A and B are shown apart, each in its own frame.
Chain A
Amino acid sequence: MKPPQKKTFTWRAITESRIFLPVVLLLLVLLFDFLFIPGFFNIENRDGDLYGSLIDILRNGSAVSLLAIGMTLVIATGGIDLSVGAVMAIAASVAGILMNPSALRNEVFFVTDPMYTFAPLWIVIGAALLAGILCGLWNGMLVAFMKIQPMVATLVLLTAGRGIAQLITNGLRVQITYRPFALIGQGWFILPFSLYIVVFMLIVTTLLTRKTALGMFIESVGINVRSSYFSGIKEKYVRLIVYVFCGFCAAIAGLVACSNVRTSDANNIGLLFELDAILAVVIGGTSMNGGRFNLVASIVGALVMQAVTQSMYAIGVPAFALQAIKAVVVIIVILLFSEQVRGFFRSFGAQKKEVKS
């Protein structure tokens, strides 16, 4: 019996690794910031809590990072979930209405007591997460059991989801004043609290996929459904569970987002976030056809998107021009992922080897 092969850190192994490109991209963006934005790397210590542009990237990127975790698994099975932004809004609405049900009586009720809430915190959070899971279950049923194409199936919730969210809040924006809930998005514990949620979810998901066989099943289903089925993998349940999990992640992201703005706004929470999440996964090197995935790379992908946004704001690019700049970044990423460019990296490695010998 041979011992497990040791990983070798050659140039080739590094450039072929899934995490290589996203990290290089992130470093490039940070290098840009270092050269052109004075004080970007300053970190301020206020009563033991850390503040600064870098921290902001992590904090503002946390919602997309959470979405990217769920989205990575969905895309790895060869699917896609367009509804995550809408699911965020649904979860936020559920949470909002449970803390401040005044909207249901069609009146705007300004709560002044920061400790006032209609339902206790665990019910608020539990109900919101449950809403996300139900949404995921719906998507998963459509895709896995009704055999509807993932893009079409999740389009249903993308369009209907915000309507549902509006129904829950009676079409009103719900103010959230309950302070313990605000901690989720605004709390600080040396680092922003939402960051801990991301790290926690990342670790849990990594354990869930890599310390069980689920990760391999997801990849196998994404690469070849028929072979997976013939090998005895219950491909329908694998698909179902990734959509459920993605809905769950979207619900957490929704809680973070509404807690951050202290408002449950069905129209704007998570708007177009699905696109950023998909992009993050693509930057993270997971093929849209499904297959191999790397959760850390997806998170780095989410941070790349956030870092670009943050940097553009910092050098004074107006908000409306931001989308165009993001598009440029996307084009660069896609080019970097093409076989041609990868081949260039490879040949560069090969040349180096020749020089040595």
Chain B
Amino acid sequence: MSDENGFILKMEGISKAFPGVQALENVDFTLKRGEIHCLVGENGAGKSTLIKVLTGVDRPDAGKILLDGVEIKTHSPQHAQTLGISTVYQEINLCPNLSVAENILIGRETLKYGRIDWKTMNAQAAEILKRLLDLDIDVTKLLGTYTVAIQQMVAIARALDITSAKILILDEPTSSLDANETQQLFKVMRKLREDGVGIIFITHFIGQVYEISDRITVLRNGKLVGTFETATIPRVELIAKMIGRVLAELDEMSSIKLESSKHIVAEALVKARGLGRRGAIKPFDLELHAGEVVGLAGLLGSGRTETASVLFGADKPDTGTLDFDGKPVSDHSPLGAIKRGIALCPEDRKDAGIVDELTVRENIVLAVQANKGWFGHISTQEQYAIADKYIEMLNIATPSADQPVKNLSGGNQQKVILARWLATNPQVLILDEPTRGIDVGTKAEIQKLVLELAEKGMACLFISSELDEVLRTSHRIAVLREREKVAEFSGEVEEQTIMHTIAGSES
């Protein structure tokens, strides 16, 4: 049915405006049968809007969508699904408290004598997973007991099985997966490609783009920059097209790092000795010095977040001692940490970071205000002053300080949280995955900022899943494996060495 070039989807001249923003302007997009097509761009480039137009969440103001050469008008995600367009979102919308089989077949259970025939249903679910994804798991277990990667695959299986999908949209599926899990997902994607499914893959990880995709479409500020064959466009050029400027900043960063390493104070500001918490992180020693960036490397679940949490005081340690500025710490609580001058940008931005309905201004002053207490009320005038200062300093893109923070893009929300903590004037800044799910340009900005803050005398702990990012920003790197600190490197380290340490194989 598709035309001679094998296109199953053609979107032509799509435009969409929201109040105050032209989200898409005359964008063309094509997808071939049996192709993995990456959609890349900075936050706010229009990727999500394009997907929403395709899946019927939003109506385009102009343009047309051709599926197999026939013009379609999707009016809801359900409708899109019946046409063969399935979507798996970043946040998995399945029920973790039901079994895998129930999740796959919910609403379509096989009945026997008016009751659910569990045996057939479980067999059916197992068969679907095996056939579609080549995945062999116990389908009677609760979905929530599996890793995020498996959950994501169950979501894909469900999406594919409901209708024989021609088009599968994966919206940042890898942002919460570790390297192994990502490979698992890629295996599935390659299998689907062989089966002739057209896959639209949205990601922020450039490495993954090159690993898996056949073609790349770049959007910037709602406009189409171009569609490229992956094999023909070099990385640097792709990044330059995404952010519209040259990455001279990266060179700039290594010089800042070199410069700032001269200012590291010998005396430890934070000193953990045998600090640990049962079930979270085995006892570890760690020192943070003023003027230094310490990187924490390790896989997801290796205890990175737990380490940060214990150092900050959000979780109480049950063994060991923690000294701050030479004095032992007794008050293990976020408020205690703020009073000492320790700040933590938590990993889970939505859940533990932003307060989404409050304004940018309120989000920024929150920690300062908590420190001052109920009656140390910061006047509105001062609140605006603080907010405006950091909006300008961190270059937060918001129409005004009165904007609810939920209206901002992910990268800007992250900057708001960063602003909240910088406003407390911390001596120690712990950043847990500060660059997750945000665009390349903002990532570079945040990395640079961390180095600049260290240069000004702050002690920073930088946690990230992306090893090259840890290497680029840190003066010293601690490696975690299976909830235990296993090594510490300072000075120039090879990426390979750290990878071997993370993997647990002696190099």
**A residues with CB within 8 A of B:** 1-5, 211-214, 216-217, 219-220, 223-224, 226-234, 291-292, 350
Q: B91 an interface residue at 8 Å Cβ cutoff?
A: no
Quick check: B384 and A232 within 8 Å, CB to CB?
A: no
- With both beta carbons as reference points, the residue of chain A lying nearest to B337 in the complex is identified as A232
Quick check: B366 and A5 within 8 Å, CB to CB?
A: no
Contacts of A234 in B (CB 8 A): 335, 370
Q: Determine which of A219, A232, A291 lies in contact with B371 in the assembled complex, contact meaning CB atoms within 8 Å.
A: A232
Contact flag A212-B353 (CB < 8 Å), given A4-B381, A231-B367: no
Q: B378-389, CB under 8 A of A: which get 1 and which 0?
A: 101100110011
Q: B417-429, CB under 8 A of A: which get 1 and which 0?
A: 0001000000000
A226-B351, A232-B337 given; name 19 further pairs at CB < 8 Å. Answer: A1-B384, A1-B385, A4-B380, A5-B384, A5-B401, A212-B374, A212-B377, A216-B358, A217-B374, A220-B355, A223-B355, A224-B355, A228-B355, A229-B334, A230-B353, A231-B367, A232-B367, A233-B370, A292-B357
Q: Quote the shortest CB–CB distance from A58 to chain B (angstroms).
A: 32
Q: Quote the shortest CB–CB distance from A7 to chain B (angstroms).
A: 9
Q: Determine which of B348, B372, B388 lies in contact with A213 in the assembled complex, contact meaning CB atoms within 8 Å.
A: B372
Q: A213 to B382, alpha carbons, bound, how many Å?
A: 13
Q: B356-399, CB under 8 A of A: which get 1 and which 0?
A: 11100010001101111111111011001100110000000000
Q: B97 an interface residue at 8 Å Cβ cutoff?
A: no
Quick check: A220 and B380 within 8 Å, CB to CB?
A: no
Q: B338 an interface residue at 8 Å Cβ cutoff?
A: yes
Q: A5 to B371, alpha carbons, bound, how many Å?
A: 26
Quick check: A213 and B346 within 8 Å, CB to CB?
A: no
Contacts of B333 in A (CB 8 A): 232
**3 A-B pairs closest in CB distance:** A232-B370, A232-B335, A232-B338
- With both beta carbons as reference points, the residue of chain A lying nearest to B314 in the complex is identified as A230
Q: Quote the shortest CB–CB distance from B337 to chain A (angstroms).
A: 7
Quick check: B375 and A212 within 8 Å, CB to CB?
A: yes
- With both beta carbons as reference points, the residue of chain A lying nearest to B378 in the complex is identified as A213
Contacts of A220 in B (CB 8 A): 355, 358, 362, 366
Q: Which of B328-357 contact A (CB under 8 A)?
A: 333-335, 337-338, 344, 346, 348, 351-357
Quick check: A229 and B367 within 8 Å, CB to CB?
A: no
Count of interface residues, chain B, beta-carbon cutoff 8 Å: 41
Q: Quote the shortest CB–CB distance from A215 to chain B (angstroms).
A: 9
Quick check: B374 and A223 within 8 Å, CB to CB?
A: no
Q: A167 to B402, alpha carbons, bound, how many Å?
A: 52
Quick check: A216 and B357 within 8 Å, CB to CB?
A: no
Q: Quote the shortest CB–CB distance from B188 to chain A (angstroms).
A: 32
Q: A184 to B280, alpha carbons, bound, how many Å?
A: 58
Q: B19 an interface residue at 8 Å Cβ cutoff?
A: yes
Q: B400 an interface residue at 8 Å Cβ cutoff?
A: yes
Q: A206 to B278, alpha carbons, bound, how many Å?
A: 45
Quick check: A224 and B356 within 8 Å, CB to CB?
A: yes
Q: A292 to B362, alpha carbons, bound, how many Å?
A: 12
Q: Quote the shortest CB–CB distance from B143 to chain A (angstroms).
A: 23
Quick check: A4 and B384 within 8 Å, CB to CB?
A: yes
Q: Quote the shortest CB–CB distance from B309 to chain A (angstroms).
A: 9
Contact flag A227-B353 (CB < 8 Å), given A216-B362, A232-B367, A232-B370: yes
Q: Quote the shortest CB–CB distance from B64 to chain A (angstroms).
A: 24
Quick check: B377 and A213 within 8 Å, CB to CB?
A: yes
Q: A252 to B356, alpha carbons, bound, how many Å?
A: 35
Contacts of B370 in A (CB 8 A): 213, 217, 231-234
Q: A92 to B122, alpha carbons, bound, how many Å?
A: 61
Which of B348, B351, B358, B401: most chain A CB closer than 10 A? B358
Q: A231 to B371, alpha carbons, bound, how many Å?
A: 9
Contact flag A227-B314 (CB < 8 Å), given A211-B377, A213-B373: no
Q: Quote the shortest CB–CB distance from B291 to chain A (angstroms).
A: 25
Q: A46 to B119, alpha carbons, bound, how many Å?
A: 82
Contacts of A212 in B (CB 8 A): 374-375, 377
Q: Which of B423-478 contact A (CB under 8 A)?
A: none
Quick check: B388 and A226 within 8 Å, CB to CB?
A: no
Q: Which of B289-320 contact A (CB under 8 A)?
A: 314
Contacts of B380 in A (CB 8 A): 4
Quick check: A216 and B351 within 8 Å, CB to CB?
A: no
Q: A224 to B357, alpha carbons, bound, how many Å?
A: 9
Q: A2 to B380, alpha carbons, bound, how many Å?
A: 13
